[in-house]
Structure 1
Amino acid sequence: MTAQCIAIWEYYHEAFESLEAKGFLRRPIVPSYCQHNAHMYHVLLRSDIDRQVVLSELKRNGISAVFHYVPLHSSPAGLRYGRGSGSMRVTNRSSTCLIRLPLWVGLTRAQ
């Protein structure tokens, strides 16, 4: 990934620190012995925050964020070929709370 994408990833991470401290969301966790590759940036919203409301507000402000994660066990292929074990409670909850923010070569800090 380019240095530009890494810089945007870092900008997001710093910008969302206070919202994470207040309990509104969780930022990506990067272990101290690893370095992220700026492939994407996501947040997990608190479960009582309506993701669609957040996505709509971002869109209203010109930000094209999307939900990103459909659990394999509930995807068409997963339903046909897969098998799950247990309730999948954490997976299902995560899929309703995740938002992926724009991150691409050419994105500027101002955008």
Structure 2
Amino acid sequence: MKFFLTREEFYTIAKGRKFGDDMLQALYMVLVQHHKYQEAADQTGVNVQMIGKNCRRLRQAYLESSAPEGWLTTKVSYPPSMQSDVDALLAKLEIMKIKQIRDQEQGPS
């Protein structure tokens, strides 16, 4: 599943983390500008594996910070043959999350 952030989301999640300038640029290229890991590595000189590792960390931090109160965040492993099922479930959960956040913002009727 592709994962991207807006510029504002990126800086909110990356703020306070100890990334060097080159790593920060590489992460921005991948997560905001939609570059491939290798492209970001070639342009910044940062190791591809470290870019991937830090992208996963930022993704997890984003998911944890955007979950409604009381919701759990987890990491799962599954075979490639289940990708479409997992994508469908994630889309369904995202819709539920958006509805719950909207309901919380509107308050009781």
Q: Which has the higher strand share?
A: 1
Per the normalisation by structure 2, the TM-score is 0.25
The structure whose residues are more often helix, as a share, is 2
Name which structure has the greater RCO, CA cutoff 8 Å, separation 6+: 1
| TM-score normalized by the length of structure 1 | 0.25
